[in-house]
Copies of this chain bind each other. A is one copy, B any other.
Amino acid sequence: MQQRTPHVVIIGGGFGGLAVARSLRKAPVNITLVDKRNHHVFQPLLYQVATAELNPSDIAYPIRAALSKQRNVRVLLAEAKTIDTAGKRVVLDDGALQYDYLIVATGATHSYFGKNEWEQYAPGLKSIEDALEIRRRVFLAYEAAERESDPVLQREWLTFAVVGAGPTGVELSGALGEIGLHTLAHDFRSIDPTQVKVVLFEGGDRVLRAYPEKLSAAAKRALEKRHVEVRLGGRVTGIDGRGVTVEGADGVETRVGTRTVLWAAGVMASPLAASLGAPLDRSGRVVVLPDLSVPEHPEVYVIGDLAKMISKGAEVPGVAQGALQGGKHVAAIIAREVRSGSRTPAAARPAFSYWDKGNMATIGRASAVAATKRFAVSGFLAWMMWWVVHIIFLVGFRSRVMVMLTWAWSWLTFKRGARLITGAPGPLPAIHLLDASGAPALPAGAAPIRLDRGTV
């Protein structure tokens, strides 16, 4: 091979990209990791930031700090715009990078199935910013409900809809149910906690379709205990600022009035994939060869949620383990080639083999589901497993300790520490003020507070 040290460019600092960089720490290569954000996000816990359980920095870590001791890596904060496979160049927003090996691991983004106008009403959950926006909307809805004197409108503010009952949708709606039941029970004067309602919409016939049926049923029961109404088999046909419209299996449309809709349904591979010139599937993912390289470009690999990876005839699920193991696989191929000095054709390389360690999702306090090939458990035991696994995998020593303590604290006190509404100090949602007749929260015998009704 060439005399000079090969340059490996990694786009994306998620689980896949970081795994490649770390696995190449002893390889004689120069690595440049490009990400448009400065931090790695521990995505499986993002919903806990959205629901005010954890702080952003509990689950996010500067990529630069994660790799600071690895001398053959350089981290660049930049956005990759296109990939020029012929010229072996990654075009950035303000320059370009030449590569010998390229790993594309930019993940997925939300897809609204062509209804992009829904995005403003139903934010998804992929980044720290998304999580803070969801947190802002959820807690602002309670503030608005506190001030609303019209009972119909108050119900709208106290109704939360989640679209999609995969792990994210289930975890979000479970947490929203508990916020209504426990966290906020004593904090408001005009809100009756039993009025809080969470509706989880799922097009399929059960929640958590990737899990055994037994666990789907257990998860549904656990959700219902938390005042989550699970609506299966319907198709969401409309989302606007006042509610969600669903068409049932019988073709009849119903409507749920709500001011807060969260999107946990479709994902779409990030648009960078298109510039590779490789075949894409319906979700925009790159259909990679068994070794995870791109057809006709053995020096270009796609891993994680951006790739349609096949292992032992089955599709690899879009989870952290898939990205992580894909990254290690690719790093091993590159290290071997660089050391041997010769490039192996894609067909002669080992195929990626995914080891399914199982799935787990948490529904709330002391309640989760966990499934591997050998067993399926739900309830407290699953929750303990979930807890241990997530603590172990969290990036960074400090995060681990802090998250453990935060969880212990909120478990003991039923409180959530991170209930801050921050961000765009824009206008509050237009709301009615309570008027004299609608002030149920004052102590008995108190004179009503006179409130002039303002324009809405």
Contact surface of A with B, Cβ cutoff 8 Å:
4-5, 7, 30, 32, 36-39, 55-58, 60, 62, 64-65, 68-69, 71-72, 74-79, 89, 92-98, 127-129, 132, 139-140, 143, 146-147, 186-189, 398-399, 401-402, 405-406, 409, 413, 415, 417-423, 425, 427-428, 430-433, 441-443, 445-447, 449-456
Contact = CB atoms under 8 A, between A and B. Distances in A.
Contact of A401 (B147, B405, B420): B405
Contacts of A446: 4-5, 30
Given A30-B447, A96-B451, A74 B441 contact: yes
A96 B405 contact: no
Contacts of A187: 62, 64-65, 68
Q: How many copies does the complex hold?
A: 2
Given A78-B428, A447-B7, A433 B37 contact: no
A413 B147 CA distance: 46
Contacts of A76: 146-147
A272 to B, nearest CB: 16
Contacts of A425: 36, 127, 129
Given A5-B445, A450-B98, A420 B65 contact: no
A420 B56 contact: yes
A-B pairs, top 8 by smallest CB distance, nearest first, are: A4-B447, A95-B433, A95-B454, A94-B454, A98-B450, A57-B418, A77-B143, A96-B452
B423 A398 contact: no
A74 B442 contact: yes
A431 B65 CA distance: 22
A56 B423 CA distance: 12
A455 B93 CA distance: 9
Contacts of A57: 55, 417-420
A37 B30 CA distance: 48
A27 to B, nearest CB: 12
